[in-house]
Amino acid sequence: MSDVVEKTLSALPSLLSLDSQAGAGKLSPSSKLGNLIKGITELTSKHEEETLIKKELESIKEQVASPNTTMRQMKEIMVRAIYCEMLGYQASFSYIHAIKLAQQGSVLEKRVGYLAVSLFLNETDEFLLLLVNTVLKDLQSTNLIEVCMALTVVSQMFPKDMIPAILPVVEEKLTHPKEIIRRKAVLALYKFYLIAPNQVQHIHSKFRKALCDKDPGVMTASLHIYLQLIKENPESYKDLTGSMVTILRQVVGGKLPLDFNYHSVPAPWLQIQLLRILAYLGKEDQGTSEMMYDVLEESLRRAEMNHNITYAILFECVKTIYTVHPKSQLLEKAAECIGNFVLSPKINLKYLGLKALTYVVQQDANLALPHQMTIIECLDHSDVIIKRETLELLFRITNAQNVTVIVEKMLEFLRLTCDDYSTIDLVGKVAELTMNSVFSLGGDVMQPDIPNNFLRLLAEGVDNVEDRQLRLFAVDSYVSLLQGETAKLPQRFLQVISWVLGEYSYLREEESDPGSVMRLLARLLDQRHTSTETRSWVLGAMTKLCSSPVSVALARDVCERYLYSGSLNTVLRQKAQELMILSQDTKLRARVLPAEGRLESPEVDSSLSFLDGYVSDALAAGAAPYKSPHQRQEDLVQEKALSLEPYGLSLPVSLSSCSITDRRSPTLLSMSSGLSGNSTELSHQEGSTTLKLEGVKRVWGKDGYLAQQQSAGETPTPLVELPSPLLSPQSPPSQKPSSGLEPDQEKRQLASSLFVGLGSHNSVCLVRLPSTVWLFIKNCQSANQSNVVKSLFKPFYINSCQSKNHGSFVKVSGIFAARKSCQTDDSCCFPPQISCISGSPLKEVKGHSVSVCLHTVVMKRASVQVELAGLLSYQRPLGQPQAAQFSLSLSLKHFLRPLTVSTGDYGKMWLSFSHDLKQNLRLVTTEHQEPLTATLDALKGKLHLHVVDIIGSEGIVACRLLQGPGQGQPCLLHCRVHADSLAVWLRSPVPELPDSLLYHCQKALTET
């Protein structure tokens, strides 16, 4: 506290000097405020503060009422009044004086008067009417400051009905010579448009003029209006698309004055505004969307990943790309961008990544697949906001197969956060919706405890407004469900419906006739497909409901049918009997089922002590003592001497006894890599030749299984590797998965259950062939740089795993075609970007054996990403020739190799290359390394670059692109630390290489 006071005191002189010209003789006005503030700082209790402020307000009240108070003093008093209001004390007596100050004060007093008005009042206050004339006068003033103040207060708040009085004057300001006035006038009109759109309808043409204003500030201001107009009615403004695209292109291209830069990014606010407008214009409109693809791509490319502001632009850009008519190439880049967000260690970006994913999975649920593990991690995040966003995301990808797990997760979350009413409200609805839409799909296969949990959720909780709303919502939605076709609803869902209706129908009783729910339930009983169990739930619900005469009559009908038309089911008969008696006897019913007692849980004597007397009597009479079901079962077991213990999980193929060939069977592969929870199932089913692919999908990522694991921050599991000429067999095949992986396995299991049903066809690396042939394509990057043949090799593992017939073999021959992915838009006019230059033929593959064939792939044209597709044809001894297609995505970094040159050679090469590109990149910071070294090391590690030299704050780096036999084309990088980013200059003789490489550098650094 003391240093605060000290600082306060030291701040005082400067405060006094600020108003040093203020009148002499009287007490300095700010020292009064200063004293007040200082006084408050020194107080220790809330009570003392109250007393002090009360005193202060009394004194203010006295002063404002005094006729001798000058406007000058009034200004100072008003500041104190604002301060008291900010502390939460009412100073409403001063409002009228604030208006007076704005009316009568000189310019600087007016300024405070207007400020006080805008802080004290709001649009609906009648006091504001007193201000209209003042505003009008000030708008017409010859003093610029007065005009500005009037426009500011008008855009802040203005009585709606009074707009016509000042509209012509504000309109006039649109042609004012000063841009600051034009800008404020535009914003004032924007405000008018928001509160009274009809009143400004006639000046739309003037808005267009503002859009074309030579001052970028005025133009930016006009976009607020256009965003609103276009949002409401995109059709009428399609003609503006061209202009918007042009403006954005100019902004992105840095054509605006430097004043508009924000942290060296050109006018980010303007960019985002334009992107939002483009989203509205291009939505569901292919023609319009096509006009903006180029500029969207450019925005995406230009936004360097180094500052929050560029992330803001990227985020908006991604949103726009996913809103307008889709273009696959852009979508691909946007998806990648989302990936960067999701993987970012910065929590804000992670949140936005999840948010973006939530948005895009509605179009393509598969987009969530690459981020399974991250999503699982976010589900357990310590920040509740992240958790909630993750649940929202899961909610969007809910389908019949994963609903159980997702709903479970939601309920878990709900139980933890029951204090936060808004969370309950939101997620409760989410759960509710899920229940309704997916209960009906997957209801019967669901674990019984899920509906139970759901019912408990509904029943628990205090009887507050939110809970009531949730229950009423449930009742209403169920009633409308029952009114429709019920034959397809699962039994368990019908039971939930009956219970909810029985408990909570009273919530809607006021608005509908009491018999309607009863009739719906009775109809349910009449239907043939309703199971006995469900019927008893329905009867139970009816018992709770039969309070009105209509319901009693209905109940009697139902009961008579059950009791006299001879239903054989005792449970149903009993329920019907109960209903019969209780519906007739209101008093008894009120005792058994008290209406207000619904919420209290009944006390249950689980020890059944009230039966003690009966039991001892029975025992005395010679009855056998009670045995629990467990005991009975044990007795049974002993009698029959049969083991009912479930068989322990045993591996059908024992690891140690594996022969060389066996090691490469897919079974073992999946087991030793701990693929998923399905692995045991996989092995059990080996003999039956149908392997379950569900849930295993996508565990093999783009870069193979290992890479994905590393990205999740875990130790790599040993993979069964084939010794290839380039790969030292570093991982012993028989190594068992370490036990440390278990929690990870759990997560993966969760992942597979969460993401089940989201199939992906284009990037599955585990290709399933017809019959029993499996093809494993693994991406083996050459790590051994001393090898002469420095190329990218991709072994294809073709395993035949037929266990029934050992003698059979499969003939496999590979035909490889390289196809370029949709990376650039000139896909049709250029030759393929990669080609296979060599390959070994495949041999016959006998049962339980592996054949390896190696193909070398090189990149013909530099490109960020290419796709390798191929056809594998094979023939079984007695079968027809068959073929299987596969595809594999390769990125530029697979084709990059370090280029070892001397600094001198580097200099010579640098001068001779013509294609260059400059960009700023993010610097990597570590604890024990210089940022430059750390950054270059990161690039070296991820992209196989060679760091030629580091001198001071500069570094030179070289690499080459594999493009066929020989050395391959080089690319040189010159890096310099500039402020807190890395200025990179790339040069190469290959036109596309710098651009593509830069992209990967950006990506590599973002992931670090």
Partner 1 sequence: MQFMLLFSRQGKLRLQKWYVPLSDKERKKISRDLVQTILARKPKMCSFLEWRDLKIVYKRYASLYFCCAVEDQDNELITLEIIHRYVELLDKYFGSVCELDIIFNFEKAYFILDEFLLGGEAQETSKKNVLKAIEQADLLQELWEPPQGWLSELSLPAST
Site for partner 1 in 253-282 (CB under 8 A): 259-260, 262, 267-270, 272
To the nearest whole angstrom, how small is the minimum distance from the Cβ of residue 115 to partner 1?
A: 6
To the nearest whole angstrom, how small is the minimum distance from the Cβ of residue 181 to partner 1?
A: 7
Alpha carbon distance 463, 476 (integer Å): 18
Number of residues lying near partner 1 (CB under 8 A): 78
Taking CB under 8 A as the criterion, the residue among 64, 77, 131, 148 binding partner 1 is 148
Alpha carbon distance 482, 493 (integer Å): 11
The residue among 122 and 787 lying less far from partner 1, judged by its C-beta, is 122
Q: Between residue 824 and residue 853, which ones bind partner 1 under the rule CB under 8 A?
A: none
Place of tokens 């191929």: 870
- Among candidates 496, 502, 504, which has minimal Cα distance to 435? 496
To the nearest whole angstrom, how small is the minimum distance from the Cβ of residue 460 to partner 1?
A: 23
Q: Between residue 289 and residue 318, which ones bind partner 1 under the rule CB under 8 A?
A: 308-309, 311-312, 315-316
To the nearest whole angstrom, how small is the minimum distance from the Cβ of residue 979 to partner 1?
A: 16
Amino acid at 51: T
- CA 163, distance to chain mean position in Å, is 42
Place of tokens 């080089």: 970
The residue among 109 and 686 lying less far from partner 1, judged by its C-beta, is 109
Q: Which range touches partner 1 (CB under 8 A), out of 121-129, 405-413, 506-514, 798-806? A: 121-129
Alpha carbon distance 778, 764 (integer Å): 11
Place of tokens 């199932």: 681
- DSSP track, 6-51: HHHHHHHHHHHHHTTTS-SSSPPHHHHHHHHHHHHHH--SHHHHHH
The residue among 265 and 538 lying less far from partner 1, judged by its C-beta, is 265
- CA 96, distance to chain mean position in Å, is 49
What does the per-residue mask of binding to partner 1 show for 18-47, with x meaning CB under 8 A?
x--x--------x--xx--x----------
The residue among 106 and 734 lying less far from partner 1, judged by its C-beta, is 106
Q: What is the DSSP letter of 854?
A: E
Q: Between residue 382 and residue 421, which ones bind partner 1 under the rule CB under 8 A?
A: 382-383, 385-386, 388
Both tokens assigned to 775:
């093809």
Both tokens assigned to 30:
């700010």
The residue among 348 and 447 lying less far from partner 1, judged by its C-beta, is 348
Taking CB under 8 A as the criterion, the residue among 74, 84, 115, 872 binding partner 1 is 115
Q: Is 903 in the site for partner 1 (CB under 8 A)?
A: no
The residue among 382 and 786 lying less far from partner 1, judged by its C-beta, is 382
Q: Is 3 in the site for partner 1 (CB under 8 A)?
A: no
Q: Which range touches partner 1 (CB under 8 A), out of 14-22, 561-569, 618-626, 903-911? A: 14-22
Q: Between residue 149 and residue 178, which ones bind partner 1 under the rule CB under 8 A?
A: 152, 155-157, 176-178
The residue among 713 and 966 lying less far from partner 1, judged by its C-beta, is 713
Q: What is the DSSP letter of 806?
A: T
Q: Between residue 417 and residue 446, which ones bind partner 1 under the rule CB under 8 A?
A: 422, 426
Helix (DSSP H) and strand (DSSP E) numbers for the chain? 39, 17
Whether residue 920 contacts residue 982, with contact meaning beta carbons closer than 8 Å, is answered with yes
To the nearest whole angstrom, how small is the minimum distance from the Cβ of residue 18 to partner 1?
A: 8
Q: How far is CA 894 from CA 713, 727, 839, 939, 962, in A?
A: 22, 15, 18, 14, 9
Q: Which range touches partner 1 (CB under 8 A), out of 348-356, 778-786, 793-801, 966-974? A: 348-356
Rounded to a whole number, what is the largest CA-CA distance in the chain? 115
To the nearest whole angstrom, how small is the minimum distance from the Cβ of residue 1006 to partner 1?
A: 15
- Among candidates 210, 212, 214, which has minimal Cα distance to 184? 210
The residue among 33 and 727 lying less far from partner 1, judged by its C-beta, is 33
- Residues 6 or more apart whose CB falls under 8 angstroms from that of 474 comprise 432, 458, 500, 504
Strands 946-951 and 865-875: unpaired
Taking CB under 8 A as the criterion, the residue among 122, 447, 512, 925 binding partner 1 is 122
Q: How far is CA 443 from CA 412, 440, 490, in A?
A: 19, 6, 5
Q: Which range touches partner 1 (CB under 8 A), out of 103-111, 645-653, 878-886, 896-904? A: 103-111
Q: Which residues pair with 51 in a beta bridge?
A: none
The residue among 87 and 869 lying less far from partner 1, judged by its C-beta, is 87
Rg (C-alpha) for the chain, rounded Å, is: 38
Alpha carbon distance 14, 879 (integer Å): 96
- Residues 6 or more apart whose CB falls under 8 angstroms from that of 94 comprise 60, 61, 64, 77, 78, 81, 116, 120
The residue among 317 and 555 lying less far from partner 1, judged by its C-beta, is 317
The residue among 223 and 403 lying less far from partner 1, judged by its C-beta, is 223
To the nearest whole angstrom, how small is the minimum distance from the Cβ of residue 261 to partner 1?
A: 9
Taking CB under 8 A as the criterion, the residue among 71, 79, 196, 615 binding partner 1 is 79
Taking CB under 8 A as the criterion, the residue among 51, 70, 133, 143 binding partner 1 is 143
To the nearest whole angstrom, how small is the minimum distance from the Cβ of residue 718 to partner 1?
A: 35
- Residues 6 or more apart whose CB falls under 8 angstroms from that of 567 comprise 561, 573, 576
The residue among 46 and 630 lying less far from partner 1, judged by its C-beta, is 46
Alpha carbon distance 579, 47 (integer Å): 62
Total residue count of the chain as it appears in this document: 1008
Taking CB under 8 A as the criterion, the residue among 351, 413, 454, 895 binding partner 1 is 351
The residue among 142 and 609 lying less far from partner 1, judged by its C-beta, is 142
Helix (H, G, I), strand (E, B) or coil at 568: coil
To the nearest whole angstrom, how small is the minimum distance from the Cβ of residue 327 to partner 1?
A: 22
- CA 887, distance to chain mean position in Å, is 29
The residue among 345 and 566 lying less far from partner 1, judged by its C-beta, is 345
Alpha carbon distance 788, 782 (integer Å): 11
To the nearest whole angstrom, how small is the minimum distance from the Cβ of residue 909 to partner 1?
A: 40
Taking CB under 8 A as the criterion, the residue among 144, 445, 608, 789 binding partner 1 is 144
Q: Between residue 539 and residue 578, which ones bind partner 1 under the rule CB under 8 A?
A: none
The residue among 188 and 407 lying less far from partner 1, judged by its C-beta, is 188
Taking CB under 8 A as the criterion, the residue among 63, 136, 217, 937 binding partner 1 is 217
The residue among 386 and 489 lying less far from partner 1, judged by its C-beta, is 386
The HSE-up count of residue 849 (CA atoms within 13 Å, CB side) is 15
Q: Is 747 in the site for partner 1 (CB under 8 A)?
A: no
Taking CB under 8 A as the criterion, the residue among 206, 209, 224, 819 binding partner 1 is 224
Q: How far is CA 504 from CA 43, 452, 498, 603, in A?
A: 53, 16, 10, 21
Alpha carbon distance 967, 55 (integer Å): 87
Q: Which range touches partner 1 (CB under 8 A), out of 217-225, 288-296, 501-509, 979-987? A: 217-225
- Kindly tell me the burial class for residue 292, based on how many C-beta atoms sit within 10 Å of its own C-beta (0-12, 13-18, 19 or more): buried
To the nearest whole angstrom, how small is the minimum distance from the Cβ of residue 719 to partner 1?
A: 35
Alpha carbon distance 228, 256 (integer Å): 24
The residue among 172 and 742 lying less far from partner 1, judged by its C-beta, is 172
The residue among 185 and 542 lying less far from partner 1, judged by its C-beta, is 185
To the nearest whole angstrom, how small is the minimum distance from the Cβ of residue 203 to partner 1?
A: 17
To the nearest whole angstrom, how small is the minimum distance from the Cβ of residue 634 to partner 1?
A: 53
To the nearest whole angstrom, how small is the minimum distance from the Cβ of residue 173 to partner 1?
A: 9
Alpha carbon distance 459, 599 (integer Å): 7
Helix (H, G, I), strand (E, B) or coil at 813: strand
Q: Is 785 in the site for partner 1 (CB under 8 A)?
A: no
